[in-house]
Every structure is written in structure tokens, then in C-alpha cells.
Structure 1
Amino acid sequence: MNVQDLIRPTVKALKPYSSARDEYQGNSDNMVFLDANENPFENGVNRYPDPQQRTVKSLLSKIKGISQQNILLGNGSDEVLDLIYRAFCEPNQDNIITLPPTYGMYSVLANINAILIKCVQLDENFQPKVENILEIADSNSKLLFICSPNNPTGNSFETKSIERLIQEFKGIVVIDEAYIDFSNEDSWIIRLNEFPNLIVTQTLSKAYGMAGIRLGICYASEEIISVLNRIKPPYNVNELTQQKAILQLEQNKITKQQVQAILNERDVLVDKLSEIGFISKIYPSDANFILAKVDNATMRYNQLIEKGIVIRNRTTQPGCENCLRFTVGTPEENIILINTLKTIQ
């Protein structure tokens, strides 16, 4: 596959904006910067941030075992996804394929960018219908979104199914791995070199506990990363976000400990939820949440709201009728949830 054939002509012809910090990339020690019209009085954030977030990427490179040239960072995963749309999808012409029930922003971003959405619902086990997906794809199908582990179902997709889709889909395959740190499955970033049309997105919002700083990560070939760098805003990741990310990534051991604690609590929560009379099914989870089928999702959701507990009602999602999604909280929060569920009728 030639990725160049998938890039929008206007993006190919684009001359990207060159910021002051892009033009000078040398050692900044003892340098006098009079190039960017900044306020010269030092306060920690008076200078523009590194537009390529080199220190953050260096830490991610070591943790993930992947070259910095294969990494792009964004203001949350939503910005990363939007850049992918703008790089590869021609408005009012191209289409994308989603696999509901899945993350809702894929469709929102498609609508914002005037891109047709084609949907192939997951099967009864929440696995992709590979034949149907490949059949519905046409020459204008530029992006296929695969969320694994999937939100809101929590399960990972079968490796063979994903592999075949990457090999046979004629566009870009985006695997959203927001919850991969909670799964026993390997990340697809270890196979980037095999597939020129593969993009893997991750985030610091879940396992790393950094939802408040909005930092999304894109892993792809150098060719794709260079295309996305051409169209990203020059300073899309601010200095405070970079500083907080660096501190957190330098404490990767703590992150691993927290992930294990969440996994332990997930197991406890599954056992306790199974004792609740109006919960009829608990779906397997590779994420930090649990999807459960109840007798009346809207009623149970409202009852919990009245008790001061906020969960997610997923009953309107395809295949998720009367399903609630419970995020795994602290041991104390989970006890409150279970005790409350036992009191409502």
C-alpha cells in the first residue's frame, strides 16, 4: 500500500507553518531568544513550549520501545483523531467505518469534517464482523476505527480479525488503545513496521491518571507522522502539560502499581456485582471499567444519581440495551457503590 495515495491533495501541497522554535532546534543553554515576540521576564511559562515535545517523546520512546520518529502528541486523543481525519479524508467525498458500540467521538469528528459514516455493528460477542466490514468498504473508505479494548464493552478484539482488517482494508486502520494498559494483550505498536497503513492511538488519561492535562499519543510510520506534523498547530501541547507529563512518565513504576491495584479492584467489583439481583450479566473486561446488563438501565442509573453516584448509562448504544458501565474506583468508592446497589429496589 502506498500511503501517499491516501493523503488529501491539499495536504500534500501544503507548506506548513514554521514557528520560531521549529527554526531553531539547538541547545538553548545560554542563548538569548529574541525571535518569537515573547515577554522576556521569566516566570516559567513566558516562553513558547517545545513544538515537538522532545523530552516527553524521549520518555515515551524508552517506555514503549519505539523510536521518537514514530510518535506524535496532541491536545488529547481527540485532536490526534481530528488530525487524522484532516490528513486523509476529503470532505463531502470520503467515508469512514466505525464498529458500534464504540467511542462516540469517531462519529462526531466525521460529522464535523463532513465525512460519511458507515457502521458495521459488532457481533453478539462484541467482535468485529470482518467480512461485512471489508464488503462495505469502497474506494472512498479512508479510515477504519478499531477500539480495542473497546469502549463501552471492555473487551479486546481477536488478533486474527484485526490482522486481516489491517491487511485487506485499502485505507488507514486506526486502533484506539486508550485502555491497553489494563489488558493482557500486546499493543499493536510492536507491529507498526509490518503495516504502513496502521495508526495506534493511546493516552495518558487512563492508566497514567492524567486526564486533566489532555495529552493524546499517536504511533505510526515516520511517513504518517510527518504528514500529521505538517498540519498540527505549531504549539498544540502547552508547557504545563509537557511538564506534568514528564513528571508522571518518570514515575512509571508508580503507574504500574496503580494499574495493578485497579485490576485487583476490578476483580473484586466483578464478584460483588454478580451478587446484585437486578444485574443479569457482567461482560468480560480488559479495561478499567465493567459493562453490566440490568433489568432497567435508565431507572437504575437515576436511582444511583439520587444516591450521589455517577455511572454511565449505555442503553442507547447498539447491542447494549439496559447496560450500565461502571468505572473501577478506589476500594472505598467501590464499597460505596456495592452497598448502594444492595439498597435500591
Structure 2
Amino acid sequence: MHIALHGSDVNLRQLKYFVRVVETANMTRAADDLRIAQPALGMQIKQLEEALGVVLLTRHSRGVSPTAAGAKLFQRAVQILDLVEIARQEVRDDARETIRFGLTPSLMQIIGPELLLLVSERAPRLAFSLNEEMSHLLVDSLHRAELDLILAYEVPDAPGFWKRALYQEDLVLVTAAGNADDAPITFSDALAGPLILPELRDGVRSLVEKTAAEHELGIRLEHEIRSISGIKTMITRGSAAGILPYGTVLAEVSAGTLFARPIVAPVLRRTLYLAGSRKAGQLASLPIIRDVVGSAMRTLSTAMAELGHPLSPAEPSQKA
């Protein structure tokens, strides 16, 4: 499809490329997301600017940002691409809708089966696939358009994506079964011993380090492990404790192989979001998915007891 402007042709591919560049604010990242070479992307943007007769992007050391004309085009381009997607769906009404849904390992364990069963009951024609990964990796996959919707913690604002806060969860100090103390522990005391923590980009690690810095406390990092199951295995062996979401160790605590102590003074609390792309916002089955997720939140709340805190429904925040 082409749109005639000033006697030249602007095509949907150029608009798609331009939107992704503005969303990422970085030509290299946009090229990676679009799976094209950066010089080819730059040429497409240049041709778009020539067709419109205006400069659309300002290049600077931190990346790129839209000019005043570019900002106007971004808004219109988003509308055009959304309308094209709606039209494509309308002419394929008989096609089976697909949703690629991501959630964290702890959520997969607690509510994953319920999500699958409820979706199959309420939307039997929907192809619903679940993908499990840590929150920051789910966000990466969402931004690369590899997932349509995610349930993840501490999702950052991003242009072209929306999010809705659903739940808050407290972190706990996790120790081996030999330590039967499950009484609350202060944050400073939790940091007194050696710790096993996730990798640097992980939201739990970021929250622990930020809170420690705010209270001028040091961290005795014994091991850094990307795998949640690996962290739990090392804690079970008694080499160090860990600071983790309670939902991550719920099964092990119930089985008595690990102990969890609530952290206080201060409490470490993170927020769970349902987040999606513009495309996901147009899915016919989205209202069903939101209802199913709401039911699953009630299950999560029951499992988490006093360590979980449901939030009142609110309108999704959007960056488009």
C-alpha cells in the first residue's frame, strides 16, 4: 500500500520503520528489532524525509528524537498502521486469533494452568500460548514483538505500549531448611549475611540494590545466578540466603525445603503489570483475557496471603 504525498510515494514499510525508530529512540536498536541492516533502515528514513520534504529526526549522542514534524508524523503513522491492522483483521474474521502471552516463572507455577484452562473455556477459538521468562526479559520480548501480552513486574513506560498495574508483592529472605526461623527480619539484618541474587538487570536485584543504597547499607554478594531454579538450589544447599519474591519459593516453603522470612523496615515491594503492544490492544479477545487475568489475580492473592496486595482496577497507562 502507498500513500501519495507531495507527488511522491510513502509506503507502509517506511511508516513502520519510522515508528519503531521513534519508539526505541535509537537507530541501532530499531534495526535489530526490525531485523534489517542499519544502513538500509537509514536509507528508508532518508527516503521518507525526501518524500515529505521535511526533516523527521534529530540525531544526537544519546540516539535520535523526532523533530516537531516527526512527532506529528509519528502520531498519524501510529493511527494509519493501527487502521491497517484493524482492516486486516476485519477481512479475516474467520481466521483463528493468536495471542502470545508471557509471564514470570513464579506466576507460571501459581496461575499458569488456571490461565490456560479459563482461556480454553471462554475463548475456544483462541490460540493461546504461554511463555515463561524473568520480567526484564519478558519486556524485551514484548518490545521485539515476540509477545503480545505479558504479566511482569516493574514494567517501564515505553512509547507505543500500554500497561495496567494489578498487584503488589513483598520480597522475602529465603533460607535453607536447616534455619527454621520464619519471623520477620529487618532489611539491614537480611543484608548481614552472604546473599545469592539474580543478574544485574533483574528487577529484584535492582530493588535490593536501590534500597540498600538509600539506607547506606552494603551487600555481601556470594553468587550471582540468572536462573531462579539455580538460585533456589544453591540456597537449599545452605551456602547463602536469597532475597526473592515469595511466589517464587511458595512450593518449596509449603514442602518445607526452604524457609521464607518477611522483610521489614523497610518492606521491599514490587508491582505486577499486565502490559501489551498497540496490536494487542486491538485484539477481539482482549476483554476475555483481562477477565481471565482478573480471576487469576484472586487465586494469586489467596496463595500469597499477607505478602500480596491486590490493586484497584485502573485505566491502563499508555505511551503511544
Q: TM tier, shorter chain? A: under 0.3
TM-score normalised by L of structure 2: 0.26
**More strand, by proportion:** 2
Structure 1 or 2, whichever has the larger Rg, is 2
**More helix, by proportion:** 2
TM-score normalised by L of structure 1: 0.25
